[in-house]
Amino acid sequence: TIDPVSKICCIGAGYVGGPTMAMIAHKCPHIDVKVVDINADRIAQWNSDRLPIYEPGLDEIVHSSRGKNLTFTTEIDQAIRAADMVFISVNTPTKTFGVGAGRAANLEFVEKCARRIAEVSEGHKIVVEKSTLPVRTAEAVKRILSNTANNATFDVLSNPEFLAEGTAIEDLLEPDRVLIGGERPESIEALVDIYANWVPRARLLTTNLWSSELSKLTANAFLAQRVSSINAISALCEATGADVDEVAAAIGTDSRIGPKFLKASVGFGGSCFQKDILNLVYLCEYFGLPEVAAYWEQVVRMNDHQKQRFVTRMVRTMFNTVSDKKIGIWGFAFKKDTNDTRESASIYVCRDLLLEKARLCIYDPQVSEHQILNDLEYVFTEGDNKISEAKRELIEQHVTFASSAQEASSDAHAIAILTEWDEFADADFEAIYSTMKKPAFVFDGRNRLKDLGLKAKGFEYHGIGF
Ligand code: NAD
Ligand code: UGA
């Protein structure tokens, strides 16, 4: 038998490790939770008044436990050694080099964690894969853990995370399900007992290790596929006079299809959809299933097409040139209510507009100028991971920042709405219209302003899929 867990260590204080551990600490005052990271700046931010990630409700949850049973620290080895259960919640980005570059997951960080755990542990521990991993990673983790310095023993569980950014706290409070894959029933039960402190037992699903690992990639692939499917239809709507929001509402009432995740957009972003599908594609190829790989790869291709299509439509509509025209960019985050810009559609839309030599004035309520410049510089890097002088100049001479949506649009030829922040609907459109060049074009990549009567206010309004 295994004693109930009283000490947890989570390696990786990121978008997943931080909020999930804060929730466990909040709901389980009897468990001591230590979140560790090699990034000392990030740990310092978790210990400050300004947390490293913006997430509605997160501050309250962190403050309720920090300094009591929730600690953020860089003392990794001590925290691992003391814990009964160690979560691995580090990043698993797409590999950018070597075998599988551009597709396979880079498991370097996960492997380093497993090796660290093997080296410093004593006694028995449960190691939990929280990161999203290719199916069968637990096999490698188990082998690494079998070479231990102090005769420690381990059980490995897979417990993928399904929270979405922007709603992380809601999702953690009331998850549709918590998935736990493992081999030894006692270890599975130890983790079930933790979640059972606030999640109804009927929502705690247990499976074998491989089903759990694969379910995470599959869930993200299905979700992204819905977005690419409705985005594909949005192109047909624009060509035919149908309205994609009406089509989505009409098909969404079919209980077999359901209404969620059918919002046509400028394209999905975020750190995971593309990375996880590419990983799935790589796995299918690895296991000799090229047709299955091609099927899923199309979801990413359609998403790339949607972003390009948006820019092409802007350029064509604006008399085939945006060169030297000021364009107000509303939103840079990959969705509302987060400061995360990873793989945001905005990055690619801004890149393509810059290549057209447009002048961009960017506003996002939560993303820093520093982050936006980093993202734009990164998207222009070439094979050697360096940005050319010409591209750096392009950015320097064509990108400025504003501290409000209105300021970003002043004297502009067009506005491009790339994130669906609620505050955009409250802008003073009469004032904005009066300062813009005419025709005052609005390209709404989120259909956020669709019902606000912008045409009647004088704007030339274009959304997605109508
Ligand atoms: P992140 O980049 O925000 O955080 C990962 C952290 O791990 C970083 O702070 C990094 O410094 C730290 N780290 C890396 N190697 C380390 C090591 N050897 N020792 C200690 N710390 C180390 O990543 P994230 O968004 O939290 O994602 C983590 C995992 O969760 C990924 O596999 C991702 O696919 C998955 N996931 C993410 C989300 C999401 O919404 N972001 C949702 C579900 C699942
Ligand atoms: C997604 C999944 O929803 C989570 O379940 C999963 O845990 C997570 O990935 C992960 O593994 O990282 P996230 O990327 O945070 O969560 O946010 P989503 O709400 O899924 O949105 C992803 C992207 O799709 C955003 O750019 C969003 O704007 C776009 N989207 C979403 C649409 O364009 N239309 C929709 O109908 C829904």
Q: Give how many domains the chain has, as a whole number.
A: 2
Q: How far is CA 292 from the centre of its chain?
A: 24
Measured from the Cα of 161, ligand 2's closest atom is 7
Q: How far is CA 245 from the centre of its chain?
A: 24
Report the nearest-CA residue for atom 2 of ligand 1: 91
Which of 159, 183, 207 delimits the end of a domain?
207
Query: What local confidence, expressed as pLDDT, does residue 421 receive?
Result: 98
| Domain at 108, CATH number | 3.40.50.720
Cα atoms in the 13 Å half-sphere on the side-chain side of 271: 18
Interatomic CA distance for residues 77 and 81, integer angstroms: 6
Interatomic CA distance for residues 182 and 408, integer angstroms: 52
Question: Is residue 419 assigned to a domain?
Answer: yes
Q: How far is the CA of 419 from the centre of ligand 1 (A)?
A: 23
Query: What local confidence, expressed as pLDDT, does residue 253 receive?
Result: 98
Preceding peptide of 93 cis, ω within 30°: no
Instruction: For residues 24 and 127, state if they share a domain.
Output: yes
Interatomic CA distance for residues 147 and 326, integer angstroms: 60
Which of 179, 207, 235 delimits the end of a domain?
207
Which of 186, 207, 228 delimits the end of a domain?
207
Give the ipTM.
0.98
Query: What local confidence, expressed as pLDDT, does residue 79 receive?
Result: 98
Ligand nearest to the CA of 35: 1
Query: Contact 3/194 with Cβ under 8 angstroms?
Result: no
* Short-list 51, 57, 48, 50, CA closest to 23: 57
Q: How far is the CA of 373 from the centre of ligand 2 (A)?
A: 23
Instruction: For residues 311 and 437, state if they share a domain.
Output: yes
Query: What local confidence, expressed as pLDDT, does residue 258 receive?
Result: 98
Instruction: For residues 61 and 178, state if they share a domain.
Output: yes
Q: Give the SS3 label for residue 289.
A: coil
Instruction: For residues 147 and 278, state if they share a domain.
Output: no
Domain that holds residue 424: 273-462
Question: Is residue 252 assigned to a domain?
Answer: no
What DSSP assignment string belongs to 239-250?
Answer: HHT--HHHHHHH
CA–CA–CA angle 365, 440, 309 (5° rounding): 75
Measured from the Cα of 132, ligand 2's closest atom is 11
Q: Which residues pair with 85 in a beta bridge?
A: 8, 126
Query: What local confidence, expressed as pLDDT, does residue 203 receive?
Result: 98
Best residue for ligand 2 mutational test, from 20, 58, 165 (most atoms within 8 Å of Cβ): 165
Q: How far is the CA of 257 from the centre of ligand 1 (A)?
A: 32
Query: Contact 267/299 with Cβ under 8 angstroms?
Result: no
Query: Contact 156/138 with Cβ under 8 angstroms?
Result: yes
Interatomic CA distance for residues 58 and 18, integer angstroms: 9
Q: Identify each DSSP E strand in 265-352 by its residue range.
A: 326-330
Instruction: For residues 199 and 333, state if they share a domain.
Output: no
Ligand nearest to the CA of 230: 2
Question: Is residue 257 assigned to a domain?
Answer: no
Does the C-beta of 334 come closer than 6 Å to ligand 2?
yes
Instruction: For residues 286 and 399, state if they share a domain.
Output: yes
Instruction: For residues 156 and 56, state if they share a domain.
Output: yes
Does the C-beta of 37 come closer than 6 Å to ligand 2?
no
Query: Contact 418/405 with Cβ under 8 angstroms?
Result: no
Interatomic CA distance for residues 49 and 269, integer angstroms: 28
272 is catalytic: yes
Ligand nearest to the CA of 268: 2
Query: What local confidence, expressed as pLDDT, does residue 173 receive?
Result: 98
As a whole number of Å, the end-to-end CA separation of the chain is 61
To which H or E segment does residue 25 belong? helix 17-27
Query: What local confidence, expressed as pLDDT, does residue 385 receive?
Result: 84
Q: How far is the CA of 164 from the centre of ligand 2 (A)?
A: 6
Ligand 1, CB within 6 Å, residue ranges: 11-17, 37-39, 42, 76, 89-92, 109, 112-113, 131-132, 161, 163, 165, 271-272
Interatomic CA distance for residues 420 and 385, integer angstroms: 31
Structure tokens at 249: 């509402």
Question: Is residue 223 assigned to a domain?
Answer: no
Instruction: For residues 320 and 448, state if they share a domain.
Output: yes
Does the C-beta of 270 come closer than 6 Å to ligand 2?
yes
Any idea which residue has 């491989």 for tokens? 210
Interatomic CA distance for residues 228 and 220, integer angstroms: 12
Q: Catalytic one among 28, 272, 350, 361? A: 272
Q: How many CB atoms lie within 10 A of CB 238?
A: 18
Measured from the Cα of 15, ligand 2's closest atom is 12
Measured from the Cα of 15, ligand 1's closest atom is 26
Best residue for ligand 2 mutational test, from 169, 223, 226 (most atoms within 8 Å of Cβ): 223
Question: Is residue 150 assigned to a domain?
Answer: yes
Q: How far is the CA of 343 from the centre of ligand 2 (A)?
A: 11
List the chain pLDDT tens, one digit each, 466 residues: 778 999 999 999 999 999 999 999 999 999 999 999 999 999 999 999 999 999 999 999 999 999 999 999 999 999 999 999 999 999 999 999 999 999 999 999 999 999 999 999 999 999 999 999 999 999 999 999 999 989 999 999 999 999 999 999 999 999 999 999 999 999 999 999 999 999 999 999 999 999 999 999 999 999 999 999 999 999 999 999 999 999 999 999 999 999 999 999 999 999 999 999 999 999 999 999 999 999 999 999 999 999 999 999 999 999 999 999 999 999 999 999 999 999 999 999 999 999 999 999 999 999 999 999 999 999 999 878 899 999 999 999 999 999 999 999 999 999 999 999 999 999 999 999 999 999 999 999 999 999 999 999 999 999 999 9
Query: What local confidence, expressed as pLDDT, does residue 172 receive?
Result: 98
Instruction: For residues 182 and 308, state if they share a domain.
Output: no
123 exposed, middle or buried (CB, 10 Å; 0-12, 13-18, 19+)?
exposed
Instruction: For residues 287 and 176, state if they share a domain.
Output: no
Report the nearest-CA residue for atom 14 of ligand 1: 90
